[in-house]
Amino acid sequence: MRTSKALSLILGGMLLLSAFALFAAPVLADGGNGNGGEGQGPWSDGGGESPDDTGPNDDMYQKGINHSLMGKMGYAYGYGQGGFVFYTVDEVNGTITDYGLITSQGEKVLIDSISVEGFVPTVIDVHGSIAKLIEGGTIAVIHDNPTGMYHLFVEEATNVTIVLSGDMVVTENKVLNESSNLTYQLVISDGTSAGVIASDDPFEVTENGRVIECDVTEHLMVRFLPQVAHRHQWMEMVLMQAVQEGRVAAEVTLVGDDQGGIYDTVSYRQEMNVQVQQVVKNKFRLMAQGENPQGALMLVHTEAGTMDMSQDRLRVRLNDQDMRYAEDPLELIYGQPEDACYTVISDGEVQQMLVYLPASTLGAISVESVDPLAALFSPAGITIIVGAMALVALAGVVAFRKR
């Protein structure tokens, strides 16, 4: 009798433990919905609202600004300003002047002027955190974020002249492998602020490093190190270098809550496009499509209120297969792993996820953070727990009657 009673109690206990184990396992991310963030052209700078979102997003934009993640561009009568960048556009000749960043110490002009020969914008389109100046196939994109990015895309050779401001000068002129994107690189600095100007075409630097000319045949990019507080400055420098060397395929910024979210994307490669398909608290889904001949590194910026990236709760999948977690971010940035993997860089409220896709690998990337207790005490979880406890009680009754 004692043996039967013991076996019954053990069986009941095992059922109860099975219930706990079942609901402590991570829940798989669903397939998402919507087609947000398709971008336009090879420099697909785009942003928008998650298909899940049903309400106004001003609070979320402000949340992104507060964490130095995301801005919101405004433009009127030739003057543009966002949470990070400011500039003036001469709408008669298209020249951009007084281009600078709003730093932790206030406004700072970094470039006196950017002139694109023969470029007089017929459309100035402001959406989310970007402003697009468009004339035919020539598009200049000003991106409001901590790096104050400027992107130019042309369909035919066009002369571009950039005049640096203040003490900003060219400190390094280098040429990468000519098969890579952004082959020609200029590092600019005034001793405090630093940035990079990059193109697939060579530069001519004059006037003691202050005036830069380039006959752009495809695209040109200007990018600065973040000028705001609470950013991983050492990591930003590493990532800046990775962007210069063509290692980063795309950057994505996400801010969300229980109802949905907003996002912002920047693509650095012509052949590959990254779309945001879903953003909601503790869950997002990306789609990488096109071509990936050399391996692709994607950088995702977010904050703790949007995504809990605690490693014991995080589930990252590529095409429904679990991805490997890498302890060292430098493995993804400088190495070329043979498998799809990811890592997380956390700075308190601000978080960055690096995702690496090996060559010829594309598809759906789903990221979800699951609270085991939330699943355990869900209606289904409580039902199973109650059922398990009932079995234990029944086993006890049976054992008592046999005794």
Q: Do residues 108 and 147 share a domain?
A: yes
Q: Do residues 354 and 317 share a domain?
A: yes
- At 233, the pLDDT band (50, 70, 90 cuts) reads low
| Residue 186 located in a structural domain | yes
229, 255, 288 - which closes a domain: 229
Residue 172 forms beta bridges with which residues? 187
> What's the confidence (pLDDT) of residue 202?
94
| Residue 148 located in a structural domain | yes
Q: Do residues 171 and 254 share a domain?
A: no
Angle at 36 between CA 31 and CA 42, to 5 degrees: 120
Task: Tell me which residue range forms the domain holding 181.
Answer: 72-229
Q: In this predicted model, which residue has the larger pLDDT, 58 or 228?
A: 58
Return the residue matching tokens 């409001």: 144
Q: Do residues 193 and 106 share a domain?
A: yes
Look at the chain and report how many structural domains it folds into.
3
Q: Which amino acid is at 375?
A: A
Q: Do residues 218 and 77 share a domain?
A: yes
| Residue 76 located in a structural domain | yes
Q: Do residues 205 and 257 share a domain?
A: no
Report the b/e string of 211-235 with b at 16+ CB within 10 A. Answer: bbbbebebbbbbbbbbbbeebbeee
Q: In this predicted model, which residue has the larger pLDDT, 64 or 230?
A: 64
Nearest to 303 by CA among 286, 277, 279, 285: 279
229, 254, 274 - which closes a domain: 229
| Residue 56 located in a structural domain | no
Cβ proximity of 183 and 200 under 8 Å = yes
Q: How far apart are CA 157 and CA 267, in angstroms?
A: 22
> What's the confidence (pLDDT) of residue 378?
47
Q: How far apart are CA 135 and CA 120, in angstroms?
A: 7
**DSSP class of residue 34?**
-
Q: How far apart are CA 108 and CA 194, in angstroms?
A: 12
| Residue 54 located in a structural domain | no
Q: pTM above the 0.75 mark?
A: no
Q: Which amino acid is at 91?
A: E
Q: Do residues 362 and 387 share a domain?
A: no
| Residue 133 located in a structural domain | yes
| Residue 60 located in a structural domain | no
Q: Do residues 218 and 317 share a domain?
A: no
Q: Do residues 93 and 216 share a domain?
A: yes
Q: Do residues 203 and 277 share a domain?
A: no
Q: Do residues 169 and 253 share a domain?
A: no
Side-chain-side CA neighbours of residue 68 (13 Å): 23
- At 100, phi and psi to the nearest 5? -155, -175
Q: Which of 30-39, 158-167, 264-273 has the lowest mean pLDDT?
A: 30-39
> What's the confidence (pLDDT) of residue 19?
35
| Residue 51 located in a structural domain | no
229, 256, 285 - which closes a domain: 229
Polymer length of the chain: 403
- At 68, the pLDDT band (50, 70, 90 cuts) reads low
- At 121, the pLDDT band (50, 70, 90 cuts) reads very high
Tell me the pLDDT tens digit for each residue of 124-152: 988 777 889 999 989 999 988 778 889 99
Q: Do residues 192 and 257 share a domain?
A: no
